Amino acid sequence: MSQLRHQVIFSGPIQMGKWLLLHVAPMDCLICPIKDSSIRLYLEEMLRTKALECEYPDCEAEAKVEGSTQGLYCSKCQKWLVAATFIPPIDSDTQEYRVILVGGDFRNTEHVKAISSVSNVNFLQARNMLQEAAAEVIKDRARTVQSAVSLLASVGIRYRIEPDFPYETDDA
């Protein structure tokens, strides 16, 4: 990651509209009511009013999310002016989702291997699962389920997710 000039520390889940503890530079500490949708506008306002400055006069700062970092980034000097942790909603989702087989071929080695990998069972158990009607392949949190269905879809296995899965999958 690039050099960090300021740091933002969030207190509470931003998407819920909770209070935000903002730490800008070592000495300044502000508490601001900022909702998820207005973080970008707030950061842009800080840049516009010169509360944050880049070392270049024609700074090209923009609101950016990169990996688990979000904040204000200057693409010209390649530095974060303000940075904060970004946790995607899929990673904070505590709901357990079930992946149920809808269609697959127990004679297809790729299908059996995929079920074996996703379910963490041996080859024979995976083949038996493919012969069952509506077998539960996995029950886990959203990120794990997303990876599992990606593998299933890549080999052509049909499935359904219960309860409704609000995140993107490869077959969507």
DSSP state string for 85-130: E---HHHH----EEEEEEE--TT-HHHHHHHHHHHT--HHHHHHHH
Using DSSP's 3-state secondary structure scheme, residue 70 falls into strand
**Range of weakest confidence among 32-36, 90-94, 164-168:** 32-36
Residue 140: C-alpha distances to residues 51, 67, 162 (Å):
44, 23, 11
Most confident of 42-46, 70-74, 106-110: 106-110
As a whole-number percent, the residues of the chain with pLDDT over 90 amount to 44
Q: What confidence tens digit (pLDDT) does each residue in 123-148 have?
A: 999 999 999 989 999 999 999 999 99
Average pLDDT over residues 49-59: 64
pLDDT of residue 70: 79
Given a cut of 90, whether residue 38 has pLDDT beyond it is no
**Local confidence band at 14 (pLDDT 50, 70, 90 cut-offs):** very low
Average pLDDT over residues 5-12: 41
| Main-chain phi, psi angles of 28, to 5 degrees | -90, 135
Average pLDDT over residues 115-119: 97
pLDDT of residue 82: 73
pLDDT of residue 1: 38
Given a cut of 60, whether residue 10 has pLDDT beyond it is no
Given a cut of 50, whether residue 3 has pLDDT beyond it is no
